[in-house]
């Protein structure tokens, strides 16, 4: 049983790296951002509550985030463990989480700010299946159309200059300090995510003492919730 948290600035590759690790190690991947985006797409009550907050790049209130995470983990479908991406993002969330779960390691993805802007502003997401693309590094085969389902590709509502500035501020003010709370009882491994995604994955595995990534040839694409 392995339990990991993956954290980092927007665009640092949390979801990509979590997917690569989860797929191979049979971990359940939990992304609070994906769960919220699903609610927004399905027009649920939760979706209506979080839509504007997300689009502005602000953090959703801790109580709602904690109940989403609690319910998800209580499904206990994670027989081999889990990797949770984009949580905890505040001191309260971290304390709530650490009361109930012992984490094996926190993976802290690092990326300089100019590269964050370059990556995030080139990101596109499929309106049909949620798969994401980068127009610079991972463009779709046909312009504006998802390779998997043919859905239309759009910019995420929070991938604008203004929302990104807010997300980065939220990250530095509220999320980065969470690492100090973890460091008291959990190993935290800092990883430079400027190299390509497979090199980054290999580095994560080396630092966690895990077997090498099996598919060095293929790049990873993922379906988001």
> CB-wise, 27 or 164, nearer to ligand AMP?
164
- Is 89 annotated as catalytic? yes
Instruction: State yes or no: 59 annotated in a binding site.
Output: yes
Site for ligand AMP in 105-124 (CB under 6 A): none
Q: Which of 5, 18, 30, 32 binds ligand AMP (CB under 6 A)?
A: 32
- Is 51 annotated as catalytic? no
Burial class of 102 by CB neighbour count within 10 A (0 to 12, 13 to 18, 19+): exposed
The conformation of residue 173, written as its DSSP 8-state character, comes to I
> CB-wise, 36 or 213, nearer to ligand AMP?
36
Distance CA 193, CA 18 (A): 13
Residues facing residue 82 across a β-bridge: 3, 28
Which of 2, 51, 117, 156 is an active site residue? 156
Q: Say how many CA atoms lie within 13 Å of 63 toward its Cβ.
A: 2
Instruction: State yes or no: 97 annotated in a binding site.
Output: no
177 contacts 91 by C-beta, under 8 angstroms: yes
Instruction: State yes or no: 166 annotated in a binding site.
Output: no
Distance CA 94, CA 179 (A): 9
Which of 72, 89, 131, 224 is an active site residue? 89
Q: How far is the CB of 49 from ligand AMP (least distance, A)?
A: 11
End-to-end Cα, the chain, rounded Å: 24
167 binds ligand AMP (CB under 6 A): yes
Site for ligand AMP in 57-86 (CB under 6 A): 57-60, 65, 86
Instruction: For residue 135, give the nearest of 149, 162, 115, 153 by alpha carbon.
Output: 153
Catalytic residues: 14, 89, 123, 156, 167
- Binding site members for ATP: 11-16, 123, 195
Binding site for ligand AMP (CB under 6 A): 10, 32-33, 36, 53-54, 57-60, 65, 86-89, 93, 158, 167
């Amino acid at each position: 049983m392995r339990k990991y948290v993956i954290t980092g600035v927007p665009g640092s590759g949390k979801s990509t790296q979590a997917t690569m690790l989860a797929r191979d190690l049979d971990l359940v991947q939990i992304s609070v951002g994906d769960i919220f985006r699903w609610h927004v797409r399905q027009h649920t009550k939760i979706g209506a509550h979080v839509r504007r907050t997300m689009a502005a790049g602000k953090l959703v209130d801790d109580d709602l985030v904690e109940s989403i995470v609690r319910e998800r983990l209580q499904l206990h479908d994670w027989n081999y463990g889990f990797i949770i991406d984009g949580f905890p993002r505040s001191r309260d969330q971290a304390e709530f989480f650490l009361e109930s779960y012992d984490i094996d390691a926190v993976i802290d993805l690092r990326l300089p700010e100019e590269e964050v802007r370059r990556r995030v502003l080139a990101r596109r997401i499929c309106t049909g299946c949620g798969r994401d693309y980068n127009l610079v590094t991972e463009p779709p085969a046909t312009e504006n159309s998802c390779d998997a389902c043919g859905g239309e590709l759009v910019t995420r509502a929070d991938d604008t200059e203004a929302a990104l500035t807010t997300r980065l501020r939220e990250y530095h003010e509220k999320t980065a300090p969470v690492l100090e709370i973890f460091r008291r009882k959990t190993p935290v491994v800092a990883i430079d995510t400027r190299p390509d995604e497979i090199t980054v994955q290999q580095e994560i595995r080396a630092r966690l003492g895990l077997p090498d990534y099996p598919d060095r040839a293929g790049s990873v694409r993922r379906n988001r919730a």
